[in-house]
Amino acid sequence: QNEKELQDVVKQQEEKMFQLIDKSGEVTRLKAEVSQLKRSLQHAETEARVLWEEMRGKEHQGDTAYVQERVMLRREVDKLRLLLLEKKDENLQLTDKY
């Protein structure tokens, strides 16, 4: 009888563990999706910011190559900032884990 009860308890614990693993995977997937959405938003904000600056400062009006270069440079800066933030997040996660 006790052995049967013990097996039932072990089985319940295993089921709970699998549920937690499933939830953990879902959380990881959602975090990755949020991260991708943040990157997309940053790209759009970068383009909007550069175009707004170019419209205000009319000295380079009509110079599409200049505007494209500015957008590219802003993207690179944003990409580097994002990499820095990701590394900080990784370090925090590793610190939390250990």
Residues 23 and 70 in one domain: no
The pLDDT score that the predictor gives to residue 48 is 80
Same domain assignment for residues 7 and 49: yes
Domains: count for the chain:
2
Domain match, 44 and 19 both:
yes
**Spatial separation of the C-alpha atoms in residues 69 and 31, rounded to whole Å:** 32
Same domain? 58 vs 68: no
Tokens standing for 22?
């499933």
Rounded CA-CA distance 35/29 in Å is 10
Supply the range of the domain harboring residue 77.
64-97
pTM over 0.75: no
Whether residue 47 sits in one domain with residue 3: yes
Same domain, 54 and 69: no
| Residue found by looking up tokens 């013990």 in the block | 6
Whether residues 93 and 74 share a domain: the answer is yes
pLDDT in tens, 36-80: 888 888 878 877 877 777 777 666 556 777 777 877 888 888 788
